């Protein structure tokens, strides 16, 4: 690795701690120990602008600050722990941990069944321990990957996580460094991978002191959060290193399996080697060193395959990408909402296109954006894309934080789930959807600056004013907003239990039905929807095939399979075992014979073997 790239922070080992902080334009940096004793140590600067000192007789728990140019005292920008919050001293942490996951090698990307959760609202524990306590439940459901919303230290004790200001520090109220390691270790023991949501496109508005050390921001580029982080201007090497080392720390020291990178389109970098390409190259080296699979998953508000194209084709080589348009297409059709960013959606032909082409807008005109948008995905296989019918953004950014359970019928909810799970893409569930959770998921904060609180509240009202919401957003700062967002875990009611059984069954089918295992681009045929409001896809894997039929009609529909083959029905979402209205589709479908489909239903047909 280039000598400009090196680990930063406080590195404890056997009663000694080595401190490294980047401040290239400063005249002096001193280490100020505040607990368990008070002492000041000078740091020495090297040619790359890194200040360093090694201190002996250190014990974990030592609190420290840096004094810059003999004046301001600030926490360590690469702090591992902020036990008193974002404005107080940093803490030295011992990274030693008794791992028991030596046999863990990871899970292939295309096999992931992802469950997105927010640590603070997943359980009444509001911490990592609460997630550990639900591990057997997730295993029973069929989940093999947990995606944790950002846990970098943020102001106060409640936040979505995207206001984090210490990317290296694990939120203290969640359980800190050891709490996260216990969670990862427990997950691997159960055969579950851990995906961590990280934010490298901005830092939160309260408690981020990086600019007091170095040019972490540039005025050359703007983002929705203000000046962009400095990935390509003067002194950008130190900024690139700061986030590069952070990613490698999570994947190495914490045994994290993958990073979901928030809004990578807002990582503005016009350099010869984009930051995400550099990161992918270094992660590939780590993967080789550890013998474990390590993935980078991009959230990308651009239909641009360059981010996932291999570097041999001038791409950045990221492993996977979230696909919002799959969500938008099915949401608009099932709910009838066509305002805000749903303006571009609302027809079943767009659901069809989301299956055939992945990107709905792939070089065609977008009414919402008022321009031609996107490019074709090329030959990137289906297993490189993550899809969902709900997630934190598309629930929390609604006026009432309402889930699909507040809008759709029970049968339509099952149809939405089947579209995701039976697609060839990587499915993602948002916590609680598997049993029909009805509690909202709001946006919430706990900032300490009243002016900032007001600015955030007004900013959200303005940002989402193009939606036709009839109500005001609940105050993000109100504790009750947070409390209402905690899962109810009401899974014993008749419908809730049936929904859980349904999700469990379709996940098991996804894992075991041979025809669903192929993710190559030529492994699926999508039949035109036309005017019958029925979408049929044919999944193929070698000699095995299956027809999956999704009925979007509000009433019973007579339908003829658009293929000359007789089939057995092996799945029907209308079955009584998941509180359906009862099956109307026969167990055997004869060639060219029409058959009935229940409203908002999904069936799977398997062609009869030729004698």
542: left (phi over 0), alpha (psi -120 to 50) or beta: left
396 is in an annotated binding site: yes
Give the percent of the chain with pLDDT over 70. 97
When the pLDDT of each residue in the chain is averaged and rounded to a whole number, the result is 95
- For residues 145 and 419, the answer to whether their CB atoms sit within 8 Å is no
Say which CATH topology domain 514-607 has: Immunoglobulin-like (2.60.40)
pLDDT in tens, 250-280: 999 999 999 999 999 999 999 999 999 999 9
Give CA–CA dist 295/287, Å, rounded: 9
Confidence of residue 457 (pLDDT cuts 50, 70, 90): confident
Q: Nearest-CA neighbor of 122 among 429, 493, 566? A: 429
179 is in an annotated binding site: no
CA distances from 181 to 4, 276, 309 (A): 29, 26, 32
At which residue do the structure tokens 């990274």 appear?
Answer: 95
The domain segmentation of the chain, as residue ranges, is: 9-91, 137-508, 514-607
pLDDT value at position 472? Answer: 67
582 is in an annotated binding site: no
Q: Nearest-CA neighbor of 154 among 85, 225, 247? A: 85
Contacts of 574 (CB under 8 A, 6+ apart): 411, 580, 581, 582, 583, 584, 585, 598, 601
Give CA–CA dist 120/154, Å, rounded: 12
327 is in an annotated binding site: yes
264 is in an annotated binding site: yes
pLDDT in tens, 329-375: 999 999 999 998 899 999 999 999 999 999 999 999 999 999 999 99
Give the percent of the chain with pLDDT over 90. 90
Taking residue 439's Cβ as centre, other Cβ atoms within 10 Å add up to 19
- Return the minimum-mean-pLDDT range out of 139-143, 468-472, 478-482: 468-472
Q: Which has more pLDDT, 469 or 195?
A: 195
Average pLDDT of the segment spanning 437-448: 94
pLDDT in tens, 288-338: 999 999 999 999 999 999 999 999 999 999 999 999 999 999 999 999 999
CATH architecture of 137-508: Alpha-Beta Barrel (3.20)
Give CA–CA dist 475/260, Å, rounded: 28
Give CA–CA dist 174/159, Å, rounded: 11
CATH fit for domain 9-91, picks 2.40.50.140, 2.30.110.10, 3.40.50.300, 2.60.40.10 = 2.60.40.10
Q: Which residues are catalytic?
A: 262, 299
48 is in an annotated binding site: no
Average pLDDT of the segment spanning 534-560: 97
pLDDT value at position 450? Answer: 83
- Return the minimum-mean-pLDDT range out of 1-15, 26-40, 107-121, 580-594: 1-15
Give CA–CA dist 574/232, Å, rounded: 55
Give CA–CA dist 87/209, Å, rounded: 9
Give CA–CA dist 295/268, Å, rounded: 21
Burial label, 262 (beta-carbon count in 10 A; 0-12, 13-18, 19+): buried
Give CA–CA dist 385/464, Å, rounded: 27
324 is in an annotated binding site: yes
Extended beta strands in 69-132, E state: 72-74, 90-91, 114-117
At which residue do the structure tokens 């929705």 appear?
Answer: 224
| Tally of residues, the chain | 611
| Residue 98 predicted with pLDDT over 80 | yes
Do domains 9-91 and 514-607 share one topology? The answer is: yes
């Amino acid at each position: 690795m280039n000598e400009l790239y090196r680990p930063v922070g406080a590195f404890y080992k056997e009663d000694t701690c080595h401190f490294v902080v980047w401040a290239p334009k400063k005249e002096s940096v001193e280490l100020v120990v505040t607990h368990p004793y008070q002492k000041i140590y000078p740091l020495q600067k090297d040619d790359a602008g890194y200040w360093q000192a090694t201190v002996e007789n250190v014990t974990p728990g030592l609190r420290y600050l840096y004094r810059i140019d003999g004046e301001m005292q600030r926490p360590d920008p690469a702090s591992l722990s902020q036990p008193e919050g974002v404005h107080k001293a940093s803490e030295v942490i011992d990274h030693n941990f008794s791992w028991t996951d030596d046999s863990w090698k990871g899970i292939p990307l295309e096999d992931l069944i992802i469950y997105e959760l927010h640590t603070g609202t997943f359980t009444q524990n509001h911490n990592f321990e609460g997630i550990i306590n639900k591990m057997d439940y997730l295993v029973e459901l069929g989940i093999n990957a947990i995606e944790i919303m950002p846990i970098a230290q943020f102001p106060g004790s409640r936040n979505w996580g995207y206001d984090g200001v210490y990317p290296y520090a694990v939120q203290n109220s969640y359980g800190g460094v050891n709490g996260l390691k216990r969670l990862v270790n427990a997950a691997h023991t159960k055969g579950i991978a851990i995906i961590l949501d990280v934010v490298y496109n901005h830092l939160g508005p309260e408690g981020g002191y990086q600019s007091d050390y170095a040019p972490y921001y540039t005025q050359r580029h703007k983002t929705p959060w203000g000046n962009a982080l400095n990935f390509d201007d003067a002194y950008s090497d130190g900024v690139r290193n700061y986030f590069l080392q952070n990613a490698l720390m999570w994947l190495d020291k914490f045994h994290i399996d993958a990073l979901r990178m928030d809004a990578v389109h807002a990582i503005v970098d016009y350099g010869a080697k984009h930051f995400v390409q550099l990161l992918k190259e270094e992660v590939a080296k780590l993967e080789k060193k550890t013998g474990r699979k390590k993935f980078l998953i991009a959230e990308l508000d651009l239909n641009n395959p360059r981010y996932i194209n291999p570097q041999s084709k001038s791409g950045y080589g990221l492993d996977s990408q979230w696909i919002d348009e799959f969500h938008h297409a099915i949401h608009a059709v099932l709910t009838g909402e066509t305002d805000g960013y749903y303006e571009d959606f609302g027809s079943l032909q767009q659901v069809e296109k989301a299956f055939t082409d992945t990107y709905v807008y792939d070089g065609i005109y977008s009414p919402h954006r008022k321009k031609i948008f996107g490019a074709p995905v090329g030959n990137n296989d289906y297993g490189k894309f993550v899809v969902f019918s709900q997630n934190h953004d598309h629930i929390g950014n609604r006026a009432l934080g309402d889930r699909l359970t507040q809008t759709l019928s029970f049968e339509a909810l099952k149809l939405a789930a089947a579209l995701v799970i039976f697609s060839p893409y990587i499915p993602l569930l948002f916590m609680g959807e598997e049993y029909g959770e009805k509690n909202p998921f709001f946006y919430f904060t706990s900032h300490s600056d009243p002016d900032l609180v007001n600015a955030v509240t007004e900013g959200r009202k303005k940002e989402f004013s193009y939606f036709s919401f009839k109500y005001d957003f609940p105050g993000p700062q109100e504790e009750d907003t947070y409390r209402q967002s905690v899962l109810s875990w009401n899974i014993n009611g008749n419908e809730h239990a049936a929904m859980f059984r349904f999700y469990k069954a379709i996940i098991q089918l996804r894992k075991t039905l041979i025809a669903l295992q192929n993710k190559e681009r030529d492994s699926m045929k999508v039949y035109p929807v036309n005017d019958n409001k029925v979408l049929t896809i044919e999944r193929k894997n070698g000699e095995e095939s299956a027809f999956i039929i999704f009925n979007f009609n509000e009433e019973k529909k007579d339908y003829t399979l658009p293929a000359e083959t007789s089939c057995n029905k092996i799945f029907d979402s209308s079955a009584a075992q998941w509180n359906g209205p009862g099956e109307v589709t026969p167990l055997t479908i004869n060639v060219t014979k029409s058959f009935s489909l229940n409203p908002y239903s999904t069936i799977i047909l398997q062609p009869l073997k030729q004698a």
